[in-house]
Amino acid sequence: MKISTILDHIDSGHMALPEFQRGYVWNRDQVRGLFDSLYRRHPVGGLLVWATESKTAAHRGDGPLAAGVVKLLLDGQQRITSLYGVVRGDPPKFFDGNAQTFTNLRFHLDTQNFAFYQPLKMQDDPLWIDVTRLMKKGHAGLGEFVARLSAQPELAAKVGDYVGRLSRLLGITDIDLHIEEVTGADKTLDIVVDIFNKVNSGGTKLSKGDLALAKICADWPEARDTMKAKLREWARADYHFSLDWLMRSMNTVLTGEAKFQYLHEKSAEEVQDGLKRATKHIDTCLNLIGGRLGLDHDQVFFGRFGVPVMVRYLDRRSGPLGEKERDKLLFWFVQAGMWGRFSGSTESFIDQDLAALEGTDGGLDKLLEQLRLWHGGLRAEPGHFTGWSLGARFYPVLYLLTRMGGARDWGTGLPLKASLLGKMSRLEVHHIFPKAQLYKRNFKRPEVNALGNFCFLTKDTNLDISARLPQQYFVTVEEAHPGALASQWIPTDPALWKIENYREFLEARKALLAAEVNQRMEELLYGDARWLTGPVATVPASASIGSGMTGEVEEEELEALNHWMEGHGLPLGTLAYDFADATTGEQMAIFDLAWPNGIQEELSQPVAVLLNDSSETLSLASQFGFRCFTAIEEFQRYVEAEILVESATT
């Protein structure tokens, strides 16, 4: 079938995308490569479609399907979407991605190369042709380009060649692509998805959540959009969650399990009701976690997969929670996050916890007992605060203590419990001993960014303190706001405020922080400390594992790399990412900068930037599926070539 006919079929609703297909994930380099192959008449592969009745076809987007049999793309989505976007100048109705990927493609009439528009390079060169403009005008528009070229005396001699190349470019839409069809009444959604996964074995397979959502959308087409609308609502409140996470919460309500294997048995009405109940309970959980624990944005929202368990608990009971029951549930959530309950095998641990809620003897006590048996003692020790960086397991705990306790700002003396109005009043991480001063004295990065050196202050106060040493500004703070230092667990011995005693300061503050955690946990249990008893939990081995990053220059390079990613509209990596064992939750190593879910979440493999790290750390990261880069330039080339939605050609 000609490419032009395929595009017409998309317009008429005779060809579409099945609901279970993921969104558009190609980058500009892939689009450019496709058009280069088509121009040179190289093979680009055929299409695989599922021929099925439109009245039962669950398809992506809001465009109506034609009556009768329609063809749903199983293999070839990225190629056809790219072709449609360039030829039509707009994305197809089923599009879900970044349209800039195929916008402003140019073709050079001399070199016969494709590239994306670059003003300085192309704006004054008539040989760079706008491919979309040519395609939209078709053969009738050839005269416009010929007239423009003929007006340039230095180009007149080659106009004949250029016309031939323009005609060849236009001829791309006349190329035939072989289409293979999956047909037959026996081709159920499960069978078709299995075929899809086999065909796409080299790429990212559909997850169980994708398949579950496809089945839901078959009966309730608006399901995906409804869920995404709720996710956007939470995102506006600084809680960024995934579709899979929301579906797990809905699934626990409907089936009592984490696995999606029984969700397909539910009717559209049951699914709609389950989603309504789940989102209501999630709102309750977020209000409790944000209001009582102070974890008011997703960067400190550790153990998020504890929420589906909380949702199930709330759904099984009637009426509002009493204070003691509420706080015991929050105690479980905090403890699950502190010890990495859901850092690895998410489904199996959620299922274990859901099972603890069932039966006549099920409930919160059984849930807590299971957590204690899994981890050991739940009481914090000073050594648990040995971690470092904003990615450390106990970083959210420090934020929680600041919000739950009586911590006060050192500039205003005001409590930091509630959200403060004004952009200069947002809480920021403050290095108690300035980084520059510590690096100057040859302290290594894990010590400079130790949790014991962090506190939270308002932006104004943070700027005011600047790079002064504690022995200078602590005196001023204490005079202006007596008790404000102690409210942030600062040792009272002035000798520890001197930079030469920095390591002793850290040890003293870690002890104060551990004592504060245990006090706050006892408050959540209203004095019922039996859950905190037992063998002391092991201090994570990674607490003493530093990365190869040893100085301020390397740290600045990583921060600059994150800014580079942000500037290109890509997600920030986690600095000093704590990698944990999937079964035990024990931290195993620290990666300098990591994207554990891939830069394109769930669509590309996990990535880690490891500068000057040991071979053991590199081996560990590789063993667990991380693509590792030991140089920033090497990582940037990977992003430009495989991820970044910009031309990799200069």
Q: What is the pLDDT of residue 548?
A: 43
431: which residues sit within 8 A by CB, 6+ positions away?
A: 448, 449, 453, 454
Q: What is the 3-state secondary structure (H, E, C) of 148-213?
A: HHHCCHHHHHHHHHHHHHHHHHHHHHHCECCEEEECCCCCCHHHHHHHHHHHCCCCCCCCHHHHHH
- Which pLDDT does position 437 carry in this prediction? 93
Token representation of residue 351? 């299922």
* Cα dihedral sign, 453-561-566-626: negative
| Tokens representing residue 412 in the block | 């205003």
Question: What value, to the nearest 5°, has the Cα angle with vertex 180 and ends 174 and 185?
Answer: 135
pLDDT value at position 345?
Answer: 61
Sheet holding 47-53, edge to edge: 15-16, 69-75, 47-53, 179-182
**8 A C-beta contact, residue 433 and residue 505:** yes
Per-residue pLDDT tens over the stretch 499-546 = 999 999 999 999 999 999 999 999 999 988 888 876 655 554 444 444
- 63-77 pLDDT, tens per residue? 788 888 889 888 888
Q: What residues contact residue 203 under an 8 Å CB cut-off, 6+ apart?
A: none
pLDDT of residue 206: 53
Average pLDDT for runs of 10 along the chain of length 650: 94 85 80 94 88 77 83 87 95 86 92 90 88 88 80 82 92 93 69 64 56 74 87 90 89 91 84 96 95 87 91 91 95 92 79 91 91 87 80 84 91 79 63 92 87 92 90 95 96 96 96 95 90 64 44 75 82 76 64 83 76 81 88 90 50
Q: Phi first, then psi: give them for residue 466, nearest 5 degrees.
A: 55, -130
Q: Are 127 and 112 in contact (CB under 8 A)?
A: no
Q: What is the Cα–Cα distance from 485 to 494, expressed in whole angstroms?
A: 11
Predicted local confidence at residue 172, as pLDDT: 95
Place of tokens 């600047």: 466
Q: How many helices (H) and strands (E) would you count in the chain?
A: 26, 13
- Three-class SS state of 568: coil
The token duo for 182 is: 């999956």
Residues 576, 579: Cα–Cα separation, whole Å:
9
Q: What is the pLDDT of residue 606?
A: 86
431 DSSP β-pair partners: 454
The alpha-carbon radius of gyration of the chain (Å, integer) is 29
